[in-house]
Amino acid sequence: MATYVPGSSQYLPQPTAFTPDYKFLGNVLDVRTDRYNTNYQALNDLYGKVVYADLSRQDTNEVRSQYVKDIAPKIHQIADMDLSLQQNVDAAKGVFAPFFQDDLLVKDMVVTKQYQREMSYANTLLNSLDREQREKYWQTGIDAMKYQMQDFMEADRNTALQMAGPQYVEDVDLYETSLKLLQESGLFDEEIQGPPEFSPDGRWIIKTSGGAMVSKPALQYLRRSLLDDPNVQRAYYTSAYVEQRKYVDNAIQSGAFNDMDQAQRAWANQTIAKAEEQLAILTSDQEAEVANEERKLENKKQFTNTYGEAASDLTGGTMAEAIAAYDADQQNLQDKSNQLADASSYKQTSGEVPTNTLLNRAYQLMMGTNIDGDMQAAAITFGETKKKIDIEINQYKLEEIKYQQQINLENLRHRNNMAAARASREAKEEEAAQPNALAEAAGGGNTASTFLTPIASYIFL
């Protein structure tokens, strides 16, 4: 609308009230509010990390406490700032910058958080409803993390900065893992028969399949499959490490040693000496086993050359199986010999052997011995599940017994016939001798007549 003034060519516009663009202003206000809330939350989280973050070391806790006291006045200033403006946010973040510039303090935050996370994961395994998951939990893994965290807390600044955070190592349960691997491999589904044996009296042939004939190749298969498994190596290293730490703690507490280094060297030397002794015994036993398998293989070859390949099974299994068993024993002997040689290789170092070198040598030997022991137990158990014993009559012995019985029967018949003939001959001789005796008695006077009447009466009766 407009207002016209008479006699004037101009007009005055009708005044109207100003109407703000509430939608635009609302959008602007929402953006500023969201930005403020986002920045406030980010600064609040940053403040929480500084003030409430879990720390494990005493020195970092002291540094953090002093730092919180120093920034207290600045925190009040931040509360009055407009955090929707980026320059204010940057200024507020600058207050916390010195905290995160302390490498050891940040390292402590990260390591402590990782330790808590790994502990939570271990507890999840422990409380799992899945049996396979529960079996991954073991106290050794927990103890290892506690020792690692203890070392981090007690280390000097430079050493602590180089240390890795604790990590939970799952239990591999090598025994059950090995059994499952053998069962699923399908390599031992066919019968593997050993050489036949005979009962003490020779009457029965005892044929055994499975058992040691399966255990030996099964052990070689497990070694090839699992020895280089990183999970197996980590688990057994963790076990050796925890055993060493417990020995050291007990030795120091009992006063046997003055410091950790002495106790560690003592444990390492004892472990190495024990492993060398065990390896020497195992190597000797394996040499005897190889000699025995070599003798069996040679006998089998001679038997096969004499009676042909078709008769080879009579000595237990095929030639290929016998060769495989011999090769397995040879490889096992080579492994034991190498381990025995490596066990003392560190002694060739001139001067005093460093503690870490001793510990690593002891860890490796202990790991090798324990891993091989568990795999052997699994291989033996698996072989026993495949074991089958068949008892048959020894036909050769049966024919021998029959023949001997026939001879005995003929001898008995001969003795009976001889006895009957002798009795008959004696009876005839006695019968022939009776008339002569009577005649002699008749010509012998009164003396003979005294016996004649009873004899005659007896004969005629």
Cβ neighbours, 10 Å, residue 105: 22
Binning pLDDT at 50, 70 and 90, where does residue 150 land?
Answer: very high
What is the spatial distance between Cα 137 and Cα 130, in angstroms, rounded to a whole number?
12
Structure confidence at residue 427 (pLDDT): 84
Tell me, what's the pLDDT at 451? 42
The strand order across the sheet containing 204-209 reads: 197-198, 204-209, 388-393
Quick one: pLDDT at residue 34? 65
Q: Would you state the pLDDT for residue 242?
A: 96
- In this predicted structure, which of 28-37, 74-83, 309-318 has the lowest mean pLDDT? 309-318
Q: Distance (Å, rounded) from C-alpha 43 to C-alpha 83?
A: 9
Over the stretch 381-435, which tens digit does the pLDDT of each residue have?
999 888 888 888 888 888 888 899 999 999 999 999 998 988 888 888 888 877 7
More confident of the two residues 103 and 197: 103
Amino acid at 265: R
Tens digit of each residue's pLDDT (9 = 90 or more) over 353-365 = 889 989 998 998 8
Cβ neighbours of 353 (radius 10 Å): 16
Contact between 318 and 375 (Cβ < 8 Å): no
Domain regions of the chain by residue span: 1-101, 110-165, 172-393, 401-460
The CA-to-CA distance between both ends of the chain, in Å, stands at 186
Q: What is the pLDDT of residue 297?
A: 73
Model pLDDT for residues 331-351, shown as the tens digit of each residue: 776 776 666 666 556 555 545
Q: Is 72 exposed, middle or buried (0-12, 13-18, 19+ CB in 10 A)?
A: exposed
State the chain's mean pLDDT as an integer: 79
- Give mean pLDDT, residues 221-242: 92
CA distances to 6, 95, 332 from 11, in Å: 10, 63, 116
This prediction's pTM? 0.69
Would residue 262 be called left, alpha or beta, if left means φ above 0 and alpha means ψ between -120 and 50 degrees?
A: alpha
Answer yes or no: are the C-beta atoms of 57 and 13 closer than 8 Å.
no
Q: What is the pLDDT at residue 231?
A: 94
Over pLDDT 70: what percentage of the chain? Answer: 69
Per the CB < 8 A criterion, the answer to whether 328 and 216 are in contact is yes
Separation CA 171–CA 232 (nearest Å): 8
Q: Mean pLDDT across the stretch 351-379?
A: 89
Alpha-carbon distance of 239 to 137, in angstroms, equals 13
The residue-averaged pLDDT of 204-217 equals 82
* 24-28, 138-142, 326-330 — most confident range: 138-142
Which amino acid, residue 328? A
